[in-house]
Structure 1
Amino acid sequence: MSQDWSTDGRQAGRRLGRRWAAALVAATVALPALAEAPAGASAAEAGDAQAEAGRLTIDRLVASPSLSGATISSVRFSPDGRLVTYLKGRDDDATVRDLWAHDLETGRAAKLADAQALLGGEAEALSEVEKARRERQRITGSGIVAYQWSPDGQSLLFPLGGDLYLLTPEAAGGDGPGGTVRRLTETGATETDAKFSPQGRYVSFVRDADLYVIDLDSGAETRVTRVPEDSDGAIINARAEFVAQEEMKRTTGYWWAPDDSRIVYARVDRSPVAEVARYEVAADGGVTTVAQRYPFAGTDNALVALRVVAPDGGGDRALGVGADSSSYIARVAWMPDSARVTVQRQSRDQKRLDLLSVAVDTGAVETLLTETADTWVNIHHNPVFVDDGRAFLWTSERSGYPQLYRVDVESATMARLTRGAWAVLSSPSVDEAGGWVYFTANADTPVERHFYRVPLDPAPEDMERVTRPAGWHSASVSPDGRFVVDRYSAPDTPPRVALLTAEGERVAYLSENRLGADHPYAPYLETHAPVRFGTIEAEDGTALHYSLRLPADYKAGRRYPTVIAVYGGPGVQRVSKSWSLDFNQILARQGYAVMALDNRGSANRGQAFEGAIYRQMGRAEVADQLAGLDHLIDAGIADPERVGVWGWSYGGYMTLMLLAQAPERFAAGLSVAPVTDWTLYDTHYTERFLGLPQDHDGYAPSNVFRYLDGFRDDRLMLVHGMADDNVFFDHSVKLISALQDRRVRFDLMGYPGKRHGIRGTDTRAHLWRDALDFFTRRMPPGR
């Protein structure tokens, strides 16, 4: 490793921007061109030629209509329970979504709002702030990507093309429900984070760095907050800062009082955060310098102060609570009385979380409860208030697993609603009239997810499972507690949406998406690569779940080239009994066995399982993935001479760690958008698992650069978006330079203008084609 890279993360971060462009050019010159196919057609081209014979190609995989069928998303009940609304991709372009409604009384469905018609055929124009916000929320596609019902159920609010629209549904006619659309804004700026006020009198949104409110009766627009003129871009109002959006999943920076009287908002001072020059290479070859305030691990965070203001902009004042250099504001929620707000304040080391009650008029602060942990405290979206605010539902891991509790506000006593060595996976929904609490959990098995309910009065033994078919469920209950919308899939069942009774009886399908002869995937069913599930033991005896996709022509006793599809990082679960149609299916169809394994450190298995990575990443995860590989070799499935690995983001990091720590085990590795040096990643994520870099030496063993001597020639394909604002392209640039210094040959592909997700139909087709050719060259199937 060159001496330049031995400095701390802050210095490295400042220099990376100046070096990466030159390093990329050097890498392109020094490395062989991305592999030419062997004599004859490439694997991807061969697949294309056989499409007529039912062979699934990469081009067809990414094209429209979606091979997974007419799936719907963002399914919600109207407040009056009359309609179920959802977003649905167009038949000619599944990435463009329109707003639809299903009338529960008549059973008819119809399109409420057509995105392309509203845009008049023009392309969407979004601000960089909104593009980044969607990237943080992992929102893909275009058109209508989000919407919200008004509290009275009379209208819906949605953003489109940077402006806001208000839709009023009409009574169902002969073809189903219809609607009229009113445009609320028409500006050159992008309005983001739009909301109805709780009483429905106002619509609020953020424009640039300030909060605005529209009075729906008069149509008057008010600028509620004002950024100081001399802030030079460092101050933002009512918008969540970077780490809140990316790591805390707090996507908003303002909160309405239940009675519409006031708004609490965050004033974010980003001046303590170092401004770094991030370089974006565009598709036209231009290079843009983007000044981004990015809090590298161990450096200063933004300062967040909570303020309160009236909808007309009056009475703006400090609330007296916020985050300093030693804490974060994780969540804010009003209590039902509109006089107090709850604030989840988390310590910088994330081992302590206080739930505070703040009296808005007096500023008096009371601690309702405190959560602590030896490793870290996970954040959730509770509290959910019940009994007119006298109690709330809370998720706690004090038993070792996330479970639901009912907390009395006055006495702070906690009563358990659920009990077991399994995880509650969602915030609870409450049917107070019926006396039930609904939630999603993995109580039956970690590889399935179901919707359950328990009595609102603590009685954990009376828990009932609402959803029945084995698989992966995500559900919600209607406002009156009568119905449940169940979004469900299984390995042999594409995503479908059903309407159930509260007891789990199916009433109707909203989207059956049956795998019949007319389904888009029907021509490819005969050669579909099925998936198997199993468990192995980690070195400490912990059960690890895996999935294995075998070629359709699999024969026992024959060894196959094998690819480990890895993520391996915290907060994510890869092994699930759900529908999956992705690059792994392509690999299996080409003759590869594909294994995914949730190693220790992965999500939804409790504190001890997740905490295995505390203070050192890349140790337990690597050991568990190698144990999975050993299992396949011992079972006579994997050919030990033809083993590959691929992953994205943390999976890209894991790919590098496996190639470097166990070079004799792998013939090829595809690493996409990897973290390579944890001092170059952000504070909240990195310090949660590794602590502050100045406090201990856990960073060096967790970084790829400790293991550079393990990399071998022609084993690595490195891929990165050249406008990535999450895992900076600098991570790969640093690795490029280090590998060049060691004269290690590797393949490299950069995608101009692409962020962390490297999105786009043509782009994804190109990426997967290159990836397939890479694996075919390094570990060809068919021997």
Structure 2
Amino acid sequence: MKALLNVLFICSGFLIFAQKGLDDFLSYSFPSHLKAADHIGKIAWVVNEKGIRNVYSAQAPAYKAVKETQYFLDDGIEISQLLFYRSGLIFVRGSAPNKEGEFPNPYLDVKGTDQAIFLSSNKRVQKLTEGSEPLLRGEVMCFINKGQIYEYNLTDKLARQLFITRGQIGSLRLSPDENKLAFISHRGDHAFLGIYDFNNQSITYPDPTVDIDSDPVWSPESDQIAVLRRPYDPRLMFISKLTAQPFSIRLINIEDGKSKTLWQADEGEGSAFYGLSSGQQLFWMLNNEIIFPWEKEGWLHLYAVSTKEGKAKLLTPGNFEIQYVSQSPDRSFLLFSSNRGDLNRQHVGKWKDSKITQITKGKGIEWSPVSDGLGNNFALGSSGLEPAAVKRLEQGKINTIFSSEDYPSSDLTLPEAVVFSAADGVKIHGQLFLPKGLKTDQKNPALLFFHGGSRRQMLLGFHHRDYYHYAYAMNQYLASKGYIVLSVNYRSGTGYGLKFREALNYGAGGNSEFNDVLAAGLFLQNHPNVEVTKIGLWGGSYGGYLTAMGLARASDMFAAGVDIHGVMNWNVIIKNFMPSYEALEHPDFAKLAYDSSPIAHVDTWRSPVLLIHGDDDRNVPFSESVDKIKALREEKVYYEQLVLPDEVHGFLLHQSWIDVYKATVDFFDRMLE
């Protein structure tokens, strides 16, 4: 009996102190799509709990989290576009179709899937109609289905097409007096503003153009409307664009239809528009100033232009970048997140009456701030040890409304901010994950991680995008297994200014960021705890591209890699995003793009690789992995593959992430043992 008790004690101790598994590190509940009501004290958000997506809300005065829906499957069906209706919530469930009109279905539901609008009210959820982009006008909901505008009467449950017009319709904006509906009509190489008048049931196109209009915004009095205008730019993608034909803001008077250019960007650097990570780029304030993003000073900042004068003034000076912006319901102030004062994190600030107030700071990360109808402020937030949560920001305090339960934060390690130089002198930032208890004389295998995008920035904590929230947790798990991990913010990413993002010769224009891959490899080789013969690299999308480039061009440095839906040939990728692109029409560029791709360097690829891809990928065609494996076979390079049927680029199933990361860990454990 005593021996049995000792065994039980040992087993019990093992259960208490055993290393957590990958499932534990990915066991968080990720909140997103934070939305605030305009006229009452209420917020809502979407939670992805291990693939099970539901809608939550919280209401004044207590702001206690309430689960509004009861979905219970990891079925890959996204929830988005929240809208407050009476005491309930309208939301969209499902993702957009691919080019063939097929909706994502990685769960392999034999009934298929769609994208539809739902209403949750009194603990009951009902499907209203297929479509997306819901917008309320009293008891009538306008929405888009197959590129056209419809309306759905929430009282009699009837839907009808509002009007028929050419082009693909988007960006619905209801005038404050609710008499008119603005929209953008997309027509291939041009797009312009349209206005539907509910009173006389007519359509007008007040300022048609050969350019690309977007982001309509109404004046508070509904008598004017502004749009962002960008000249049509057929230039090639994934190359440096420091300049362009300048973008502008157009102002249209509703009564007489007269329009004018209110403001235009200066020529030179900053003339190419680069937007915020927000659903809107123009903000018409109560004082009749329009606030917008511009990179005049080399950083993504907010500027204001009076609708009377047309001269822009800088609102957010300094070497930092704005990312998320939202407007208060009364149009008197803006909330924003940026890396102001802390390049490695995001914090929330407030702009009001020409002054910036820093609301959050410190070791946390905060993003997607919103303000409700009572003037209370909220945001999503995380830290180096805590996954994303819903936060209330009040008088210097941050109170948590919703967070993950029983997450193993104590098993995580705080990453260190590091900076190193590439061979051409470019400074590269990264986050270094060291295993707990690492001894000074210990030698461990090491890994480089490259984010996708490339317009991304990894942070010193859980990320604001679900794809990289997963990646951060994965890097933590790898560190818990003894790997030294360096996450690399290579050139052409965001957070470090215009010239860093639009780095010369990056991507298809010369792959200059390969210098950063080598510099990161040298950083690990020079680290006293790294076993220099056991360095691997991994990443997805653009990160998969850099993984493949590292293996193809530096197999002597990198012993193995995991390439998740990575680029093989830039010419294929560019055509996927620009169907009009024909390589034969651009022979010099096409050759440069080819030479900047892994396909041009397969003959020097020697290190083993695991290739992972979902075959409904809309960003990086599945054919890229088909071509990659064909080339590796010809060169007799060892590879393994994991194909995810009907999965898209940003994996929709939590189980897909589990499968991908387990395969990744298993591969590195075997290749770097």
TM-score computed with the length of structure 1 as normaliser = 0.71
Q: Distance in 2 between matches of 1:332 and 1:684?
A: 28
Q: 1:519 aligns with which of 403, 406, 411?
A: 406
Task: Tell me the CA shift for residue 154 of structure 1.
Answer: 5.2
1:443 aligns with 2:340: yes
1:167/1:779 CA distance change after superposition, 3 Å:
closer
Q: 1:453 aligns with which of 337, 343, 350?
A: 350
Question: Which residue is equivalent to 2:478?
Answer: 587
Counterpart amino acid of 2:152? I
Q: Distance in 1 between matches of 2:63 and 2:622?
A: 50
Determine if contact 2:385/2:461 at 8 Å carries over to the other structure.
Answer: no
Question: How do 1:242-253 and structure 2 match up within 5 A?
Answer: 252-253=170-171
Counterpart amino acid of 1:587? L
What are structure 1's unaligned runs of at least 5 residues? 1-49, 125-140, 169-178, 228-234, 239-251, 270-300
1:417/1:530 CA distance change after superposition, 3 Å:
closer
Counterpart amino acid of 1:537? S
1:58 aligns with 2:22: yes
Counterpart amino acid of 2:202? G
Offset from partner CA, 1:317-341 (integer Å, 9 cap, x none): 5445255xxx544433334424434
Q: 1:468 aligns with which of 358, 361, 381?
A: 361
Question: Which residue is equivalent to 2:441?
Answer: 557
Determine if contact 1:615/1:698 at 8 Å carries over to the other structure.
Answer: no
More relative contact order, 1 or 2 (CA 8 Å, 6+ apart): 1
Structure 1 stretches of at least 4 aligned residues deviating more than 6 Å after TM superposition: 683-687
Offset from partner CA, 1:211-246 (integer Å, 9 cap, x none): 11124466553312336xxxxxxx7532xxxxxxxx
1:158 aligns with 2:91: yes
Question: Which residue is equivalent to 1:128?
Answer: none
Q: Distance in 2 between matches of 1:529 and 1:268?
A: 48
Task: Tell me the CA shift for residue 753 of structure 1.
Answer: 1.6
Q: 2:647 aligns with which of 754, 768, 772?
A: 754
Determine if contact 2:65/2:402 at 8 Å carries over to the other structure.
Answer: no
Determine if contact 2:289/2:305 at 8 Å carries over to the other structure.
Answer: yes
Task: Tell me the CA shift for residue 207 of structure 1.
Answer: 2.5
Question: Which residue is equivalent to 2:487?
Answer: 596
Question: Which residue is equivalent to 2:194?
Answer: 307
Give the SS at the match of 1:105.
coil
Determine if contact 1:448/1:471 at 8 Å carries over to the other structure.
Answer: yes
Q: Distance in 2 between matches of 1:340 and 1:145?
A: 27
Question: Which residue is equivalent to 1:261?
Answer: 179
Question: Which residue is equivalent to 2:32?
Answer: 73
Task: Tell me the CA shift for residue 593 of structure 1.
Answer: 0.8
Question: Which residue is equivalent to 1:566?
Answer: 450
Question: Which residue is equivalent to 1:101?
Answer: 57
Q: 2:529 aligns with which of 637, 654, 657?
A: 637
Q: Distance in 1 between matches of 2:575 and 2:269?
A: 19
Question: Which residue is equivalent to 1:185?
Answer: 128
Question: Which residue is equivalent to 1:612?
Answer: 503
1:237 aligns with 2:168: yes
Give the SS at the match of 1:755.
coil
TM-score computed with the length of structure 2 as normaliser = 0.81
Determine if contact 2:51/2:652 at 8 Å carries over to the other structure.
Answer: no
Q: Distance in 1 between matches of 2:193 and 2:519?
A: 48
Q: Distance in 2 between matches of 1:104 and 1:468?
A: 25
Q: 1:370 aligns with which of 255, 264, 273?
A: 264
Task: Tell me the CA shift for residue 738 of structure 1.
Answer: 2.7
What are structure 2's unaligned runs of at least 5 residues? 1-13, 95-114, 236-240, 464-468
Offset from partner CA, 1:568-595 (integer Å, 9 cap, x none): 6531002333476532233222221111
Question: Which residue is equivalent to 1:343?
Answer: 228
Q: 2:319 aligns with which of 421, 432, 441?
A: 421
Segment of structure 1 superposing worse, 678-687 or 735-744:
678-687
Determine if contact 1:678/1:686 at 8 Å carries over to the other structure.
Answer: no
Determine if contact 1:616/1:701 at 8 Å carries over to the other structure.
Answer: no
RMSD: 3.4
Q: Distance in 2 between matches of 1:255 and 1:771?
A: 45
Task: Tell me the CA shift for residue 727 of structure 1.
Answer: 0.9
Task: Tell me the CA shift for residue 180 of structure 1.
Answer: 6.3
Counterpart amino acid of 1:185? L
Question: Which residue is equivalent to 1:332?
Answer: 216
Aligned length: 613
Task: Tell me the CA shift for residue 184 of structure 1.
Answer: 6.6
Give the SS at the match of 1:595.
strand
Counterpart amino acid of 1:334? W
Q: Distance in 2 between matches of 1:694 and 1:428?
A: 44
1:217/1:339 CA distance change after superposition, 3 Å:
farther
Q: 2:432 aligns with which of 530, 548, 560?
A: 548
Offset from partner CA, 1:494-541 (integer Å, 9 cap, x none): 33333222x4234x431365xxxx72427xx3x544422222233454
What is the percentage of aligned positions where both structures have the same residue? 19
Determine if contact 1:341/1:360 at 8 Å carries over to the other structure.
Answer: no
1:196 aligns with 2:145: no
